[in-house]
Structure 1
Amino acid sequence: MILNKLIKNSSFALLGIIVLSCGPDQVGPNLKGASDDFDKNVDFHFYQDDDEDPNMKFNLHETSYFGTNTFNEEVSWTVTVTGYGSGSEAKISGLSDKLSQDNAEWLYGRSSNVYFFQRNEYVKCELKIVGLDTTYVVDSLKFQGEYRWTNKTINGVRHFVVDEFDSDDPIPTQGLSATSPDQVDNDVVIAVTDANKVEGSNSLAMSGEDVNSNGWIGSRNHDRLLELAACTDLSKMPIDSTTSPDDLYFNIFIYGDSDYPGTTVELKIYENEDFDSLPYVDDLRNYALDELNTLNSAQKAISDAWLYDIIVNWDGWKMVSVPYSAFRATNNPLTGGNGNRIKEPGRISGIEASLLSFPTAGLEVKTYIDFLTFTQGGRPQFKLQ
């Protein structure tokens, strides 16, 4: 079959229109099917930056759309974009006599399911018209560049990517670069892997057996616990100091496996509340810019840290979004439990993600985490609605 040949030989980036036979669609109450007189000569294409059927570069262009010639009647249709490697899928539907930028726009390269399209994978674009037994296909387009979400505001929501977990040694200001395993536990793994991922090239594998029954397996965190406050311009700080804890969301993709029922991922948010030395956010920003500075033990002893436990009781990938207002204060005065007990988003300086055996200690636990972000103004806009 031609399509299978294209999949096997995708490195040649073959491009063309293919018509595949399939069963007719059932016409529901809100759909308008094609009549017997519908002209099946449909010219279907993908457009970006005024180019027809180009490689997809959402790192350069936010918008794209699907287009056709004008049909001889108005019909219901669906465009499905499928990634050959990622498992991602985007669906766009409408009712019209043609597809155009007005009704078939695809923004930011977003998918409809949990997976993200991956850089340099090949994708297939299919147009199905209700009532027809044919599918129009543009095959083997290359998804050359993904959308960069950091500091982008969409539908009033500002996004910031903390870590894509594509490297065990990320640039310190761009990821969680420090690992702390429980040395007593067995077979502790906290490392980047390409075995299972939802976004990018890798995810962070976290597993181990809680031998000492203290509930903690290990953590990955910002090395200095100041990285989120380090910024060259006060107006461009990752977190606006005026943001309400109700409007600040921490978002993470977590892989669940029912074979490991005691698995919990804990997020810990550090604030630097050294108001004597750093009374203003701008003082904290300048302090954090010096790579020799850390959130030191004296500062931890007078600052808050906030926790949220995510009990992983599902199978497969899932995005979890938690408002900062839902986090609880840690009680350990040595690790951020001795501050003013007031959530102050503008004082947030670092993040830690931990693997726990919880609520039952002493178990073997396992998960993967990916694409850790936070958003201001609402939940993330990563997906098509």
Structure 2
Amino acid sequence: MVAPFETAAFALQKGAVSDVIETDFGFHLIYKLNERPVYEYRLRDILLKTKSANDYIPPAEPWKNTALSGKHVKRATLQFQPQTGEPQVGLDFNDDGKKLFAEITERNVGKPVAIFLDGQALSEPVVQEAIRDGAAVISGSFTIADAKLLVRRLNAGALPVPIQLESQQSVGASLGQDSLDASLKAGLIGFAAVALFMLLYYRLPGLIAILALLLYSSINLALYKTIPVTLTLSGIAGFILSVGMAVDANILIFERTKEELLRGRPLGSAIDEGFRRAWLSIRDSNFTTLISCAILFYTSTSLIKGFAFTLALGVLMSMFSAITVSRTLLRLVGGWRYCQNPALYLAGWTRSGKIDKA
């Protein structure tokens, strides 16, 4: 439809006749019978994206995978730009990586190439030129700390070490609390039984040993809080076992002291000689335990490591408790006039002042 004809047709009312219209095709009269509205439609694409565990419409991945991976990297090093002194990261590839990297850089000059570790982009350097010698440099606005971090991550990604699940345990809250309560109850019952035995058999030295054990336990718990140490069930077992070993050290000392008293030595001399003779046995037995703890700690799972660590810490503290605390308390008490009666140290001492060896 030509413009004059179109203008006249749209201007007419329904049922009217137009004037003579001249166009390039001749002269026209227009009679308007009817008219219908013309609807204009505008189309728009509507993209709905719903966020859930998995997006219904995943985002477009801007990066394309290459065959180059961490196994092709010899090492990453921290370097400095000679002119400006700015930190940069150097990359050295092996023979296979050298070929792959040359192909990638040839195809992507002027484009960014991203370096990924565990699905996260570490760096997105732009390729300045094709690199064929297998040695690349990543430069940019790095701080020294950022460059060092990137070097560590690149070297970590270059290690051919797969991630393996060594162990997995699931303990319910009620079961864990029940086990903890049972362990603490067993420890208290064991401590009470040991204390009763020491009092009945060793008398005054037994009381001193109990005081030394209480101090030993307090020091251990303070160290657990300071280090800090997370106490698991195996760790509690290691602590209880170390208490038993601390008792063993005191028993060795008291037995040697009794032997010296039976030989007729004065109390003070008998105490010193008893500690001197017992020290070698205490040292050797505790050092063998420490060696076993070290082996367990470096070769076992996390549960056994907790047991080994608490046991080793307890053994060290038990040596301190037996040799320092027990000895100091025993010599202090032995100097008192009312505590010099041998009957307080020997269960077989009779009223006549003789030792009943039977």
The bucket for the TM-score relative to the shorter chain is under 0.3
Higher strand share: 1
Give the TM-score of the pair, scaled to structure 1. 0.22
Structure number with greater Rg is 2
